[in-house]
Amino acid sequence: MKRFYIVLAAITTIALSGCKDHTVKEQTLPTGAIDFTYEVINDSVYNLDFYAGCTVHFYPTVTLKTPCTWEISDGRTFEGDELICDFPVAGNFTVTARANNGVKRNPIMIADIRPIVRLIQEDSICTVDASYISFDVELPNPQKLEAVYKWSFPGVKNEQGETLTTYEGENPGRVQFTKAGSQPVKLQVVLGGRDLDPVTRNVQVALDEQAPTLYYAVKEGNIMARKLTSSTKAQPYNMGISSGQHAFNLIYAADALYILDAGKQFNYVNDENGVMGDGKIQVMAKDASSIGVVMSNVGGPAFQDPFYAYADGDMLYYSDRNTGIFRIPLSSRNLVYNSSDFSYWVQNATLGYYSRGLAYGAITGGIVKIGDVWYWSKTFNGQGIWRFRESDILPNASAYSDPSVKKPEDGEFMTAFYPKAMAYDKVNQKLYVSLYDMAAGVYALPQSLLDDKETLQKIQSAGDLANYKLPGTFEPIVEAGKGEGSSGEFMGICQIAVDDATGDVYFGYRSSDPAETGLYRYNAATNQVSLINDTKGVQIYGVAINQTPSYLF
């Protein structure tokens, strides 16, 4: 029995003022002299739930001096010491009881009927073409109305081997899925001639072979995953975890996925009070069974939101918008950014490049480490790729003015271009770089070129890079109203991921043409770049790979 009791003190109002006539207003707050409660009476199973179609018994919990008048906020009125009333539709209602000894109002929420669908999974992992799944449906039905069950499947087989895409009836029986990935099962119930809101359950179906897992963040959507395989049975998985506002980077490390969300406010903003930040770093279990916060900058300085990152050993290196890179343990949890506890590992102004090509406010791009050398891309106020070793980091931000300070010996390159995303293929020793400008595209720079400082310094035109470019143009969105960010911040390709096993390269490309937008794969064996068809039109930010082969995650 669900009962709500609210007791308020009685209020006596005495108003005397000259010859003016004062009328005591109706008491609308509970006075303690009248109170009532209510319960569902026509459904023994759901008597604690108030579903559309239920019958509710209202009765006073104090003695009434006169018969009571009951008013329902939908316009119905009743007389009597008690009230038995039907609520045929869902909604929020107010029930008012009036008697000589007071007035009392109580809210009541009537929920719409929705089937409860439970999956019965016979194996610990549901495997394509192997495991059986069955379904148990519970339907609240206070009025005992006729129910029609209509199922929709993405492609399953029943125990007789028949392919089902639809089924009418409460129990479709045991079924096997013919595709791996998130397989949506939809149930539409028609109750008493009325269509209830449909219920969809995603079944995570494992592949029948082991393969690495690629994760990608969808704009205004969820984190998705897919198996890196040529199997025609593989389809994407919806992990059910929001990508956030601008998840420019995903990092797979320590058997978990780190999600860097730069927040809604990722481009320039005048944040004098340092309170407009809304970014955070989250960590998701590889199967999305849990999600936690590593670091939050919500309510902090806008420019300290997390943008790009790289994992090395047990440390996570992440950049802010334009100033520097922080270093925190991958095991960190529930940190809140503040200037006293968070100090930069490196800044623009703590490298010998500062004022010698690298300027104040140089907007950050991707970060990678090759051997002992860090590569840090910049896309504004000193665009290019700036290399340094940890020993090159100066002790303070003003030391650049010292004429004895030298540039890092590894040197900068691509300073005529706008490099955004980077990834290093350790097996084949190639640095993949995305550019947006007159040389827009993705480039594969061999280690032999990276070691050739003289040649790197001479690369100042698109023609110089022609032999390193992957097939395709991949121009970022720069049209007003279609792209995001200001100059130096366009988000055509946010991140690149390399499959160590094959050398294949994956990246999300966001074009002004929806037909060209989606997840792309560079096939290292054929030297071809292609759009993965089931992602056409999907706007993708960060990408990352769990290199360990598995059936599911």
Shared domain check, 136 and 56: no
Band (66; pLDDT cuts 50, 70, 90): confident
Shared domain check, 327 and 178: no
pLDDT at 477: 64
Q: Which one of 96, 112, 128 terminates a domain? A: 112
Residue with tokens 């054929």: 526
- pLDDT surpasses 80 at 23: no
Shared domain check, 121 and 230: no
Shared domain check, 125 and 106: no
**pTM for this prediction:** 0.86
Shared domain check, 323 and 256: yes
Shared domain check, 120 and 108: no
Residues 349-378 have pLDDT tens digits of 999 999 899 998 899 999 999 999 999 999
Q: Stretch 444-464: mean pLDDT, rounded?
A: 94
Q: Stretch 218-230: mean pLDDT, rounded?
A: 97
End-to-end CA distance of the chain: 44
Q: What is the CATH number of the domain that holds 57?
A: 2.60.40.10
Band (403; pLDDT cuts 50, 70, 90): confident
Q: What is the CATH number of the domain that holds 347?
A: 2.120.10.30
Shared domain check, 255 and 390: yes
Question: Percent of the chain beyond pLDDT 70?
Answer: 91
Residue with tokens 């994956």: 506
Shared domain check, 106 and 165: no
Band (483; pLDDT cuts 50, 70, 90): low
Which tokens sit at 37? 């409660």
Shared domain check, 369 and 291: yes
3-state secondary structure 432-449: EEEECCCCCEEEEEEHHH
- Pairing status of strand 315-319 against strand 309-312: antiparallel
- Pairing status of strand 291-296 against strand 335-336: parallel
pLDDT at 401: 63
Shared domain check, 350 and 367: yes
pLDDT at 547: 98
Shared domain check, 381 and 278: yes
Shared domain check, 279 and 174: no
Residues 119-162 have pLDDT tens digits of 999 999 999 999 999 999 999 999 999 999 999 999 899 999 99
Q: Which one of 83, 112, 141 terminates a domain? A: 112
- Pairing status of strand 441-446 against strand 430-435: antiparallel
pLDDT at 1: 34
Residues 70-122 have pLDDT tens digits of 999 999 999 999 999 999 999 999 999 999 888 999 999 999 999 999 999 99
Range of the domain at 245: 211-550
Total tally of structural domains belonging to the chain: 3
Q: Stretch 167-184: mean pLDDT, rounded?
A: 96
- Within 13 Å and on the Cβ side, how many CA atoms surround 260? 28
Q: Which one of 140, 175, 205 terminates a domain? A: 205
